[in-house]
Amino acid sequence: MAIIVDNDTRLCVQGLTGSEGRFHGLHNRAYGTNVVAGVTPGKGGQDVEGIPVFDTVAAAVEEASANTSLIFVPARFAADAVYEAIDAGIGTVICITEHIPVHEMLRAYTYFRPKGVTMIGPNCPGVLSPGKANVGIIPAEIFSEGAVGLVSRSGTLTYQIGHELTQLGLGNSTIVGIGGDPIVGSSFIDVLEKFQADPETELVVLVGEIGGDEEEKAAQYISEHMTKPVLAYIAGFSAPPGKAMGHAGAIISGSSGTAAAKKAALEAKGIEVGATPTEVAQLVAARCK
């Protein structure tokens, strides 16, 4: 089955005619993702290497049966692109764009959450279900099919751990980069719930980082609701105290949000935390023997 994207994904790329949208949209198609449309206002009727371009998402839904949107729209227009996709009936929205103002994402969040839309991002690498679909900028060639679900706030650490797993002969059911902004469409808990319900996922790796309290919330959820084993890695043990680091969401207040505090919260709920990405992969391999 996998989660969020699969063989039934019919992808519309908002911003397909731009350089980034074109590059990654075509890369996703080359992987095997069913890219059925692009959307750029004013460029309807054109095509990008055979992918039809429409003026609106509504037209892409009506004429190409798009059910998933990938957003490569500049930050000042990205929130409106999210609204447009949702209003057109798109059920899964994956927003790669970074630098969207927090207040705009807050308004968008309160709009789409009651509608039951699955939103990933913004400021994220996207979602990959190996062998089925790649929606975003994840380098799919370093991942393989398998039973390990991976959810992460960090893009590059996601790639590293996935590659470590592949080298150990293990694969992934789905890789989800939820994004590193203060407000994102899906939390760790949202994705963990999907992995718990997915019969193809046997074990989950959670990759967190300093700032916020999402990992602490996830630890509580895992202890109460997850029957599948969960392992974790937290980035940021070397972060200098008081220095802004990495993503916009990586903000520490006092001792809250530190890597040590997150590791302690996870371990208090019986969740093993690897010291390095390599160790996490080795812990997964030990569990999968």
Q: Name the residue type at position 99.
A: H
- Is 244 inside any structural domain? yes
One domain, residues 161 and 265? yes
Which of 123, 157, 186 marks a domain boundary? 123
Q: Is the residue at 231 inside a domain?
A: yes
The total domain count for the chain is 2
Looking at the structure, tell me whether residues 47 and 187 fall in a common domain. Answer: no
Same domain, 107 and 247: no
Task: Look at residue 135 and tell me if it is in a domain.
Answer: no
Residue 160 domain-assigned (yes or no): yes
The pLDDT of residue 239 is: 60
**CATH number of the CATH domain containing 199:** 3.40.50.261
Structure tokens at 194: 């999907």
99 annotated active-site = no
Q: Which of 24, 103, 163, 247 is catalytic?
A: 247
Q: Does the pTM exceed 0.95?
A: no
Amino acid 55: pLDDT: 98
Residue 136 belongs to a domain: no
Considering the domain architecture, whether residues 161 and 269 belong to the same structural domain is answered as yes
Residues 71 and 158 in one domain: no
Residues 92, 205 within the same domain: no
pLDDT for the residue numbered 6: 97
For residue 134, tell me if it sits in a domain.
no
Looking at the fold, whether 159 and 36 belong to one and the same domain comes out as no
189 and 108 share one domain: no
Does residue 131 fall inside a structural domain?
no
Residues of the chain with pLDDT under 70: 236-256
Q: In terms of domains, do 118 and 191 share one? A: no
On whether both 161 and 283 belong to a single domain, the answer is: yes
Q: Which domain holds residue 59?
A: 1-123
pLDDT at 156: 86
Q: Please report the pLDDT score of residue 84 as a whole number.
A: 98
Is position 132 within any domain?
no
pLDDT at 288: 85
Q: Are residues 258 and 181 in the same domain?
A: yes
Kindly report, residue by residue over 93-128, the tens digit of the pLDDT: 999 999 999 999 999 999 999 999 999 999 999 999
- Same domain, yes or no: 192 and 73: no
For residue 59, give the CATH number of its domain: 3.40.50.720
